[in-house]
Chains A and B, each alone.
Chain A
Amino acid sequence: MAYSPPNTFSATAVIVAADVQENLDEIKKYVNGSAVGGDLKSSSLWVEPKHIVQGYYNPLSNMHDFVSGVSGGMMSDPDDESWICDGPTARASPSSPDRVCYPNAGIEFYLESSADVLFKIHATPITPDDAKGSALWSRVYMFLDETQISSTKMYTSNAKNSSPTETDPGGLWRQWHNFYISKNLAAGWHSLTLRGYTTYRYSYLVDWGCTMEAYYL
């Protein structure tokens, strides 16, 4: 709301320096970030093109910076694949498999101030079957910075087992899509990554992408 002086002076009283200073301090607070939408002139439209900031587009990171937030994302190229292996993840069935990043499947971004941020991802994961006859799968999670978002858990399972009569056409070609909304994410650098593990020799993604929309609070 508009600036309101905390002290009003009287003709019959001494003007106290501390009161004047308090009034000035309130002005400083207002100018430094307390103006709100309700303070804007509404009697007529006054915005002209010169007042509009177009936003800055960074073609390297595919990020578009606005005064009110940041948008961006990445899409894999048509022939790209992003691989993880069981070597550093879930080989020999550890109780707590290590999660590793799917290469080139994340984004980094910078927030000028705290923001509500929407993330969306999609991917086609493939975890082949090797007729081992055991449960083979991969799992993936969205990670915001170094924090696993457990509710974004996504699976694959093997395409078929050793029984030759059963097939699962949906086993190989699954679709992953998920989202996350981070409320009041702090200013500064952040990253969104896809991290997971696999019990098969390898698992990989084709046709993946992720987007983010940040809205400054």
Chain B
Amino acid sequence: MSRIVNDNFGPAGRTTTAVKANAKFTAVATATSSLSEVNVRHEGIDARNLADNYIVVKSIYADNDNSSEDFQYNMVGTYGGAFEVNHTGSSPSAGSGLLLDMSSSPMVLKNNDLLRIFHACVLTQDDGYGRVTQPATDYFMITFPVWDITSASLSNFETLPAHDSDLNNAATTQVDIDLEANKSGGIALYAMTGRNVVSGTDFLMRRNGMSVWHYKHGGADQTIYGIRINANGPYQYVQIGTSVRGWEQVTVSSTGITHVKMSHGHVGALQMRGGQP
């Protein structure tokens, strides 16, 4: 922008013209279309507006908060395999689960954008399935974010970059973990150890899990239609060969724990962008 030249009208009693009146407002319109250093003084901008200092482009959050303590998600069946952490109650509606639905207003990651995905859940043994014994091995369940970058139908959720695709496999598979293509960042683990109370029917396997996934996008625009939290397990930690570590899926029966429930879950994401890369 430039400074506006104050072309005053004449003193009282003198006439003006439409040309002068229009010119006055056109000058404002022109000037405000390109604000620049001429127009920045005391308020200014701060360092977070500049390159490599991120500000939020899009934020989204979902939880199952209905002010009750009894809402819960679905349970693990007789065997493991990836499953959606879906809501089983009535509020929010069953099946809505931990889903950030952006199908109507997709998130578009630009080059150098930072995406941060947060999620947390509580894992407990369901009271309705009787007393179980302490697992002999430290088995665990996992939850992890997946995204749909294919279409607004939200029917093509896939694992995130740098995660083993077997994380989201419905079959029984082993998950590799390393420091490159198969990272564990963003995955929340829930130990399946716990306590039997003396009265006998409750199993105090109460575990809070949370994880954060940071992803700096590079290259062409990436459209994201939805982000969902899935779960998998039970797993146990194994060593594969001499250098690879991983999680080996085990049968539910081998853990002695037939069902678990996920509750008090929530998921959020921030898309952040700096100035020029």
B61 and A183 form a contact (CB under 8 A): yes
B264 and A153 form a contact (CB under 8 A): yes
| Given known A-B contacts A9-B18, A30-B32, A52-B50, A170 and B45 have beta carbons under 8 A apart | no
15 interchain pairs, CB-CB under 8 A: A2-B30, A2-B33, A40-B36, A47-B37, A52-B45, A53-B43, A66-B46, A67-B44, A68-B46, A134-B197, A148-B67, A155-B208, A157-B204, A177-B120, A183-B61
B12-31 with Cβ < 8 A to chain A: 16-19, 21-22, 25-26, 28-30
Of all A-B residue pairs in the complex, the 7 with the closest CB atoms, nearest first, are A2-B33, A5-B25, A9-B18, A151-B63, A155-B206, A181-B268, A41-B36
Q: Does A82 contact B (CB under 8 A)?
A: no
B28 and A3 form a contact (CB under 8 A): yes
| Given known A-B contacts A3-B29, A20-B21, A41-B35, A68 and B48 have beta carbons under 8 A apart | yes
Q: Does A87 contact B (CB under 8 A)?
A: no
Q: Does B187 contact A (CB under 8 A)?
A: no
0/1 string, A100-140, CB within 8 A of B gives 1: 00000000000000001010100000000000011101000
Q: Does A48 contact B (CB under 8 A)?
A: yes
B134 and A166 form a contact (CB under 8 A): yes
Q: Does A186 contact B (CB under 8 A)?
A: no
A150-174 with Cβ < 8 A to chain B: 150-163, 166, 168-171, 174
> Which of A13, A23, A134, A157 has the most CB atoms of chain B within a 10 A radius of its CB?
A157
Q: Which of A11, A160, A181 contacts B195 (CB 8 A)?
A: A160
Q: Does A88 contact B (CB under 8 A)?
A: no
B32 and A2 form a contact (CB under 8 A): yes
User: Which chain A residues border B139 with CB–CB below 8 Å?
Assistant: none
B198 and A40 form a contact (CB under 8 A): no
A151 and B16 form a contact (CB under 8 A): no
B21 and A41 form a contact (CB under 8 A): no
Q: Chain A's nearest CB lies how many Å from the CB of B17?
A: 7
Chain A interfacial positions (CB closer than 8 Å to B): 2-5, 8-11, 13, 15, 20, 23, 27, 30, 35, 39-43, 46-48, 51-55, 66-69, 116, 118, 120, 133-135, 137, 148-163, 166, 168-171, 174-181, 183, 215
Q: Does B220 contact A (CB under 8 A)?
A: no
| Given known A-B contacts A41-B35, A53-B45, A158-B204, A153 and B69 have beta carbons under 8 A apart | yes
User: Which chain A residues border B19 with CB–CB below 8 Å?
Assistant: 11
Chain B interfacial positions (CB closer than 8 Å to A): 1, 16-19, 21-22, 25-26, 28-30, 32-37, 40, 43-50, 55-56, 59-61, 63-69, 118, 120, 122, 134, 191, 193-198, 202, 204, 206-208, 210, 212, 263-266, 268, 270
User: Which chain B residues border A168 with CB–CB below 8 Å?
Assistant: 134, 193-195
Q: Which of A2, A8, A68 contacts B22 (CB 8 A)?
A: A8
A181 and B198 form a contact (CB under 8 A): no
User: Which chain B residues border A134 with CB–CB below 8 Å?
Assistant: 197-198
Q: Chain B's nearest CB lies how many Å from the CB of A26?
A: 9
| Given known A-B contacts A5-B26, A39-B32, A151-B63, A46 and B44 have beta carbons under 8 A apart | no
B47 and A54 form a contact (CB under 8 A): yes
User: Which chain B residues border A149 with CB–CB below 8 Å?
Assistant: 63, 65
B35 and A53 form a contact (CB under 8 A): no
User: Which chain B residues border A52 with CB–CB below 8 Å?
Assistant: 44-47, 50
B34 and A39 form a contact (CB under 8 A): yes
Q: Chain B's nearest CB lies how many Å from the CB of A173?
A: 11
Q: Chain A's nearest CB lies how many Å from the CB of B196?
A: 7
| Given known A-B contacts A137-B204, A161-B196, A40 and B34 have beta carbons under 8 A apart | yes
A150 and B28 form a contact (CB under 8 A): no
User: Which chain B residues border A48 with CB–CB below 8 Å?
Assistant: 37
